[in-house]
Amino acid sequence: MARARSSTAHDKVLRAALDLFGERGIEATSMDAIAQTSGVSKATIYNHWADKEALLMEVMLFVNGLDREPEPIDSGDLLRDLSTILCRRPPGHLDAARNRITPALMAYSAVNQEFGKAWRHRVIEPQRNNIRSILQRGVEQGLLRKDLDLELGVALLLGPLLYFRILQKGMKAPGPDFGSAVAEAFWRGHAIAGSGESNRMSKTLKK
């Protein structure tokens, strides 16, 4: 029973912090306010999180669907693997909360650079590493050019997604297959011409 109560308190604090960070901003939200809104004592909160930044990090991981380790991606089909990574989306039911808190996170990260660095390490680097690993497999298997610059390849794949994420206000949001379209465009430009495997993988993705 104690474990269930602890889990309930944990969830209440996450939800309260998410709402307050989005409404008031991160700097203006105190742990006292989170405790009062959640109905969970400050002592209990500090049993779960060392400080406000630790709580903020978990809130951001939660709202972006990154609070669970993603399944490894190695289906044997490199193009499909790239598409899978680029098509990953955060939970739709948290869209409104995520839109409210993201500007506050960006402002806070600009001032608190160590937190911004930790956030990028937790969120951006795993995705970059997964893409880099897939591209490396493609080079080793002779499907991608041997002179492919892996870092440039990662940037080319993530760039279009970041472009729409940053400039989405006032723009038509990309469809659910946008990640697949980016992966296929990259593949057409960098796969070894005439590769039977490359052609097969491109046809497979379209199914």
The domain limits of the chain are: 2-51, 78-206
Lowest mean pLDDT among 6-10, 42-46, 108-112, 134-138: 6-10
Report d(CA 192, CA 145) in Å as an integer. 6
Domain 2-51 class, CATH top level: mainly alpha
Q: What is the reported pLDDT for 123?
A: 81
Fold adopted by 78-206: Tetracycline Repressor; domain 2 (1.10.357)
Q: Which residue, among 202, 8, 27, 12, has the nearest Cα to 105 in the 3D structure? A: 27
What mean pLDDT, rounded, does the chain reach? 85
Q: What is the pLDDT of residues 60-116, one digit of tens each?
A: 998 888 866 666 688 889 999 999 999 887 777 888 888 888 888 888 999 999 999
What are the C-alpha distances in Å from 97 to residues 19, 35, 77, 150, 151?
Answer: 7, 19, 35, 35, 32
pLDDT higher than 60, residue 185: yes
pLDDT higher than 70, residue 12: yes
**Same topology between domain 2-51 and domain 78-206:** no
Confidence of residue 166 (pLDDT cuts 50, 70, 90): low
Report percent pLDDT > 70 for the chain.
83
Report percent pLDDT > 90 for the chain.
55
Judged by DSSP in three states, 144 sits in: strand
Structure tokens at 140: 């080793």
Structure tokens at 6: 């602890």
Confidence of residue 198 (pLDDT cuts 50, 70, 90): very low
Report d(CA 80, CA 101) in Å as an integer. 32
Q: What is the reported pLDDT for 103?
A: 85
Report d(CA 186, CA 82) in Å as an integer. 10
Q: Residue 191's beta-bridge partner residues?
A: 144
Q: What is the reported pLDDT for 93?
A: 81
